[in-house]
Amino acid sequence: MADDAALAVEETPSVQKPVSRFTRWYRSPLFNVIIAGLISFTQPGIWNALNSTGAGGQQEPYLVNGANSLTFGIMAFGCAIFALLANKFGVKNILILGTLGYAPYSAALYVNNRYGVEWFVLLGGATCGLGASALWASEGAIALGYGSVKDRGKFTGIWLGLRELGQLIGASIQLALNANDGKRGKVSYTTYLILISLQCLGLPLAFLISPPSKVIRPDGSKVEDPTKKKAILGEVTKMWKLLKRKQMYLLIPVLIGFNWNTTYLGIYQTRYFSVRARTLASLTSGIAATAANIFWGWFYDLKIWSRPQLAKITWGLFSVIMASVFAWQVTNEYKYANSTPAVTLDWDLPGFGRGFASMVIMRFMNESHYVFVYWIIGAFFDDLETLTLAVGIVRSFESVGSCLAFGIGAAKVAPMVNLVIAFAMFGITVPATTFAVLLVPERPEHNKIPGNFSVCHVSQSREGGAHDPTRGDCDGQKGSGVNSGWAAVAAPGP
How far is 419 from 330, CA to CA, in rounded Å?
7
**Quick one: 291 exposed, middle or buried, by C-beta within 10 A (0-12, 13-18, 19+)?**
middle
In this structure, the chain runs to a length of 494
341 preceded by a cis bond (ω within 30 of 0): yes
238-272 exposure pattern, b = at least 16 Cβ within 10 A, e = fewer: bbebbbeeebbebbbbbbbbbbbbbbbbbbbbbbb
433 neighbors 254 (Cβ within 8 angstroms): yes
The C-alpha angle 489, 64, 60, rounded to 5 degrees, equals 125
How far is 117 from 348, CA to CA, in rounded Å?
34
Which CATH number does the domain 23-206+229-471 belong to among 1.20.1530.20, 1.10.10.410, 2.40.10.120, 1.20.1250.20? Answer: 1.20.1250.20
Per-residue confidence (pLDDT) for residue 138, from 0 to 100: 83
Domain ranges of the chain: 23-206+229-471
How far is 181 from 187, CA to CA, in rounded Å?
9
451 neighbors 237 (Cβ within 8 angstroms): yes
| CB contact set of 260 (below 8 Å; sequence gap of 6+) | 401, 404, 405, 421, 422, 425, 426
408 residue type, one letter: I
**Quick one: 114 exposed, middle or buried, by C-beta within 10 A (0-12, 13-18, 19+)?**
middle
Give 213's DSSP letter: G
Per-residue confidence (pLDDT) for residue 238, from 0 to 100: 84
* Among candidate residues 95, 175, 178, the one with its CA nearest the CA of residue 141: 95
Per-residue confidence (pLDDT) for residue 490, from 0 to 100: 39
How far is 53 from 49, CA to CA, in rounded Å?
7
* Model pTM score: 0.70
Per-residue confidence (pLDDT) for residue 385, from 0 to 100: 76
Residue 222's beta-bridge partner residues?
none
Per-residue confidence (pLDDT) for residue 456, from 0 to 100: 39
Tally helices (H) and strands (E) across the chain: 20, 0
Helical residues (DSSP H) of 441-489, grouped into ranges:
none
Give 17's DSSP letter: P
156 neighbors 373 (Cβ within 8 angstroms): no
* Among candidate residues 417, 476, 481, the one with its CA nearest the CA of residue 149: 481
* Among candidate residues 35, 208, 223, 81, the one with its CA nearest the CA of residue 145: 223
**Quick one: 130 exposed, middle or buried, by C-beta within 10 A (0-12, 13-18, 19+)?**
buried
The C-alpha angle 333, 52, 392, rounded to 5 degrees, equals 110
How far is 159 from 122, CA to CA, in rounded Å?
30
Per-residue confidence (pLDDT) for residue 181, from 0 to 100: 56
pLDDT in tens, the chain (494 residues): 445 544 444 444 444 566 788 888 888 888 998 999 999 989 988 887 777 654 444 545 678 778 888 898 898 888 888 888 887 888 899 999 999 999 999 898 888 878 888 888 889 999 999 999 899 778 877 877 787 766 766 777 677 778 877 778 777 777 777 666 555 545 567 778 888 888 999 999 999 998 888 888 877 777 776 665 566 677 788 888 888 898 888 999 988 888 788 888 888 888 888 878 887 887 888 788 888 878 887 888 777 888 888 889 999 999 999 999 999 999 999 998 888 777 888 888 888 888 899 989 998 998 888 888 888 887 888 777 787 788 778 878 888 888 888 888 777 788 899 899 999 999 999 999 999 999 988 776 654 454 443 333 333 333 333 333 333 333 333 333 333 333 333 345 67
Collapsed DSSP state (helix, strand, coil) of residue 477: strand
Radius of gyration over every alpha carbon of the chain, rounded to an integer in angstroms: 24
| CB contact set of 414 (below 8 Å; sequence gap of 6+) | 337
Per-residue confidence (pLDDT) for residue 52, from 0 to 100: 60
154-165 exposure pattern, b = at least 16 Cβ within 10 A, e = fewer: bbbbbbbbbbbb
Per-residue confidence (pLDDT) for residue 424, from 0 to 100: 92
45 neighbors 163 (Cβ within 8 angstroms): yes
Per-residue confidence (pLDDT) for residue 361, from 0 to 100: 92
